[in-house]
Structure 1
Amino acid sequence: MNWDQIEGQWKQFTGKVQTEWGKLTDRDLDVIDGNRQQLVGRIQERYGVAKEDAERQVDRWLNRH
Structure 2
Amino acid sequence: SWKKELSSSVLIETSQDRTAVLNNGTLKLINIQKVDDGSVFVCIAQNEGGETQERITIHVQ
TM class by smaller structure? under 0.3
Which is helix-richer, 1 or 2? 1
Q: Which has the larger radius of gyration?
A: 2
TM-score normalised by structure 1 residue count: 0.25
TM-score normalised by structure 2 residue count: 0.25
